[in-house]
Amino acid sequence: MYEEVSRSIDDDLHSSVDALKKLVEIPTVAAKGEGIPETSELVERMLRDAGLETQIHPTSGAPVVTGWLDVGAKRTLLFYDHYDVQPAEPMDLWASPPFEPEVREGRLWGRGVADNKGDTTSRIQVIKAFKETGTDLPVNIKFVIEGEEEIGSPHLPEYTKKNKDFITADGGIWEFGGADIDGIQEAWLGLKGIYYVELEVERLSKNVHSSLACILPSAAYRLVWALSTLRDGNSRILIDGFYDGMKPLTKAEIKAIEKIDLHEADFKEIYAVDEYLNGLSGMELKKAYYGAPTCNICGITSGYQGRGSMTVLPAKASVKIDFRLIEGMHPDEIHRKLRRHLDSHGFNDIKIGYIEGYPPAKTPISHPFVKIVKAANRRVFGDLIIHPTSPGSGPLYLFNRYVPMVSVGCSDHLGNAHSPNESISLENFRRAQHRIVAIIDEMSRW
Amino acid sequence: MYEEVSRSIDDDLHSSVDALKKLVEIPTVAAKGEGIPETSELVERMLRDAGLETQIHPTSGAPVVTGWLDVGAKRTLLFYDHYDVQPAEPMDLWASPPFEPEVREGRLWGRGVADNKGDTTSRIQVIKAFKETGTDLPVNIKFVIEGEEEIGSPHLPEYTKKNKDFITADGGIWEFGGADIDGIQEAWLGLKGIYYVELEVERLSKNVHSSLACILPSAAYRLVWALSTLRDGNSRILIDGFYDGMKPLTKAEIKAIEKIDLHEADFKEIYAVDEYLNGLSGMELKKAYYGAPTCNICGITSGYQGRGSMTVLPAKASVKIDFRLIEGMHPDEIHRKLRRHLDSHGFNDIKIGYIEGYPPAKTPISHPFVKIVKAANRRVFGDLIIHPTSPGSGPLYLFNRYVPMVSVGCSDHLGNAHSPNESISLENFRRAQHRIVAIIDEMSRW
């Protein structure tokens, strides 16, 4: 089945890797607004070269790039990807520069190879292989590739609201995925929501000599006190009404996760922890993984951070926090509750910068498209572990009313997404392309 | 009296300023171990050029530079200064580069001009003026100039313990001082102690995707929780036994500070605060200023601190804290109490790096040398406000058993010591030299 396409994928692996390298060389850090126009244009060119019609949709932020090929088939397959990446900091922990992709030990290293420039490239390369071998596509193809996923897709709704017809499809492949620690492929059917804020407090006109701490207020301590009212020592979130309306995992989901192995012991070793948060293990650990919201400090900063000592009372302090949200919770509502919480605890001097937010979303386990992905995966990789949701977040809520989405990709447990030394296995990159061919084939017979 | 010396000081002001500029051009940041050998050698040369015998005393850290001239007089005057400076960060807030000293608006701008390269230079220049005018000094002179004051003088005891005879004198001028907001000169008779630590916690082998905050521990939150157990919302320090043995201000000190004007309204405006810590005012504010210990966050750091968002669970977090100590308290004892406190609150994962520490010290208000400085100041500046102690710290405890110390200098309320845009008034720099001449004169008649 599609032998020529498959052969072309294998024979042209080096040019797929070259295409990916070119994409990774642009530091498309959405958080810093860097590299957006160049990358969107390069992605558009890649889609065009694969034989797709294309359009660059401007938004108030980064443009959304779309590609499509209507072959008049019964079924339509949609890909959601993003061309932006996380910041590469801390830079000094990278073995090779993050934006100078390098092949070592059968892997490609660089910021964005796992999340998600690798999958973006692999999916486009499959369509290109159909074109270059003169093989007819048996399903219609659509790509939606945005440039602000890593900062919460703030402008993607401008595109999706105006293009409901385009994003309507029979099945969709979400941006990420890969192999677990045993090398078994995983699929993710949902995403937690997110509410990302920066809290800032400024109490003095300037940094002053710390001897004056006996009579002047401390911005840093104000922030510490406020943070300690948000989450207690057992990681219970203390914002009034935070858990209201939160939907627990369904019976079907609990049944599904009972079979999943989270590799507790392996990850303890990898992360160098004696125990998980609050000593969680077994089903309780899984329930937290799939079903618990979070209140997490992504970064905190105030005053002198250099070597040795500087005796200063800093004027300002700030913290970046991400809250992961479960079905039934909405970031705008948490935003209101957080403001109310800070005010009622006497912290009306703390400003909230609402950086990003979206609600959670899921595709039901029982959907036929989930079976198609499972069957296609079996033809290439074998078993597929199906997670009802990822603990991560993404703008799935904008799509899942119009298209059932499943997330599978070319990453693995060594991928270091969002961390230094991000990488993918070139073998997984190759086989993930074959899985897309199999999904196309399975879908054509649906 | 000493008219030729005085004329020489005025006529040679530009060369004094040039000498100071050369000293400021070396970024002698002790916290970073930068510029130490060059600066100690330059200071030694300055002392030699002023006609003093000199010695560079190596220590395990920065060398101590001494200079002396024994004229066989009855009385001996000692100067304590330091040739190191605070870090200049944040660099972007400086109007002119911190290590490229520049004269603007009758002031010299640069890191260290106020604290304390300006005073170091002014004092050496006075002795040089005696030499260059061929005027006999009526008192013996000693200089002790160290290079690690800004990091807590960790190696100065190596020098002082071996040189008790050298540091014995009839009176001493400590490193800092200047004019208050009304232009009235201030003298400081004591210094609070200090205990400076860096608390560090590491909970993961590496930074990970923040989606895993649902199951992995947070180093940053561990630190926040620990910090919130150290100091409450009313800035009461909660370490068990922290205040034990602390000596309150004496009746004589309380009487002295009753007369002092802390310029509450002016400084509220300067620091842009509606009120002082805990709404303090009047005598309560003064008692805190002269008599309260502190627990202050000088800097805190964890995770991503760039623009926008990065969804990361940081592996590590750290904080720099300075505690200011009152008579009766000792940093080593507070160190033991802090460790015990953290352990008893379940924070044995938090490491304490003991960066610097020394106890407080004071010269009694009634000492005759205090009267000498007051009389000398009257001849040049007029009134002198005598503070029983500064809220700041310094290694006075190493000296005050051997020499009564009074701190007067060439700074003022615009000096920005320890902050960006540090500066001194050139007029104060000039007149502070005349005051040294007057102190020498008054002392010779003691």
B186 with B410: CB under 8 angstroms?
Answer: no
**Residues shown for chain A:** 446
Provide the CA A178 distance to its chain's centre, in angstroms.
Answer: 13
Q: Which residues pair with A187 in a beta bridge?
A: A386
How many CB atoms are located within 10 Å of the residue B287 CB? Answer: 17
pLDDT of A221 > 90? The answer is: yes
Residue B147's pLDDT is 98
Residues with Cβ within 8 Å of B150's Cβ and at least 6 positions away in sequence, in order, are A309, A310, A311, B29, B30, B31, B82, B84, B85, B86, B115
The answer to whether the peptide bond before residue B90 is cis (omega within 30 degrees of 0) is yes
The predicted-structure confidence for B188-216, as pLDDT tens digits, reads as follows 999 999 999 999 999 999 999 999 999 99
CB A411 within 8 A of CB A428: yes
pLDDT range class, residue A107, cuts 50, 70, 90: very high
- Residues of chain B with C-beta less than 8 angstroms from the C-beta of A87: 304, 306, 310
Q: How far apart are CA A242 and CA A311, in angstroms?
A: 38
Q: Which residue among B32, B227, B307 sits closest to A224, beta carbon to beta carbon?
A: B227
Q: How many whole angstroms separate alpha carbon B319 and alpha carbon B312? A: 19
On whether the CB atoms of residues B438 and B380 are closer than 8 A, the answer is yes
Sign (positive or negative) of CA dihedral B51, B396, B321, B424: negative
| B299·A305 Cβ contact <8 A | yes
Please tell me which residue of chain B has the smallest CA distance to A204.
B271
Over the stretch A360-386, which tens digit does the pLDDT of each residue have? 999 999 999 999 999 999 999 999 999
3-class secondary structure for B399-420? Answer: CCCCCCEEECCCECCCCCCCCC
Classify the phi-psi angles of A201: left when phi > 0, otherwise alpha if psi is within -120 to 50, otherwise beta: beta
Instruction: Let me know: does B216 contact A272? Beta carbons within 8 Å.
Output: no
Give A418: exposed, middle or buried? Use CB within 10 Å, 0-12, 13-18, 19+: buried
So where are chain B's domains?
A: 3-189+363-444, 193-246+293-358
Please choose, from the candidates A315, A226, A199, A222, the residue with its C-alpha nearest in 3D space to the C-alpha of residue B272: A315
DSSP strands (E only) in A18-116: 53-57, 64-69, 76-82, 102-104, 107-109
Closest-CA distance of chain B to residue A377, Å = 25
Greater pLDDT, B16 or B310: B16
Asked whether B119 and B54 are in contact (CB, 8 A), the reply is: no
pLDDT in tens, B260-289: 999 999 999 999 999 999 999 999 999 999
Spatial contact of B336 and B244, defined as CB atoms under 8 Å apart: no
Q: Do A271 and B205 touch (CB under 8 A)?
A: yes
Any residues with CB less than 8 A from the CB of B193 and at least 6 apart, and which? B324, B325, B326, B329, B330, B331, B357, B358, B359, B360, B361, B393, B397
Q: What confidence tier does B133 reach under pLDDT thresholds 50, 70, 90?
A: very high
**What pLDDT does residue A152 have?**
83
- Asked if the Cβ–Cβ distance from A210 to B324 is below 8 Å, we say yes
**CATH (one of 3.40.630.10, 3.40.50.10540, 3.40.960.10, 3.60.130.10) for A3-189+363-444:** 3.40.630.10
Whether omega before A116 lies within 30 degrees of 0, making that bond cis, reads yes
Nearest to B204 among A233, A273, A302 (CB): A273
B312 to A299: CB separation less than 8 angstroms, yes or no: yes
Provide the pLDDT for residue A197.
98
Q: How many helices (H) does chain B have, and how many strands (E)?
A: 12, 20
pLDDT in tens, B363-421: 999 999 999 999 999 999 999 999 999 999 999 999 999 999 999 999 999 999 888 99
CB nearest A31 (choices: B89, B310, B420): B310
- Are the Cβ atoms of A297 and B301 closer than 8 angstroms? no
Query: Residue A311: closest CA among chain B residues belongs to which residue?
Result: B298
Q: How many CB pairs under 8 A join A and B?
A: 313
Give the model confidence (pLDDT) of B50-84 as tens digits: 999 999 999 999 999 999 999 999 999 999 999 99
Closest in B32, B205, B297 to A270, CB measured: B205
Q: Which helix (H) or strand (E) holds B10?
A: helix B3-11
| Residue of chain A nearest B89, judged by CA positions | A304
Q: What is the DSSP string of B418-438?
A: TSSS-EEEHHHHHHHHHHHHH
Strand partners, A385: A186
- List the beta strands (DSSP E) in B114-223: 140-146, 171-174, 178-179, 185-188, 190-202, 208-209
Q: CATH number of the domain at B193-246+293-358, out of 2.90.10.10, 1.10.645.10, 3.40.50.150, 3.30.70.360?
A: 3.30.70.360
Helix (H, G, I), strand (E, B) or coil at B330: coil
Place of tokens 């100041």: B377
Contacts with A303 from chain B: Cβ below 8 Å: 297-300, 320
Helix, strand, coil: what percent of chain B each, to 5?
40, 25, 40
Residue A164 is predicted with a pLDDT of: 97
Cα-to-chain-centroid distance, residue A372: 23
Biggest distance spanned by C-alpha atoms of chain B: 78
Query: What is the ipTM metric for this complex?
Result: 0.87
Please say whether the beta carbons of B325 and B360 come within 8 A. Answer: yes
CA–CA dist A221, A227 (Å, integer): 10
Q: What is the pTM of this model?
A: 0.86
Q: Which range among A17-26, A68-77, B246-255, B430-439 shows the weakest confidence by mean pLDDT?
A: B246-255
Total residues found in chain B within this entry? 446
Averaged pLDDT, B106-113: 98
Q: How far is CA A428 from CA A114, A374, B112, in A?
A: 11, 17, 58
Q: Which residues of A touch B349 (CB under 8 A)?
A: none
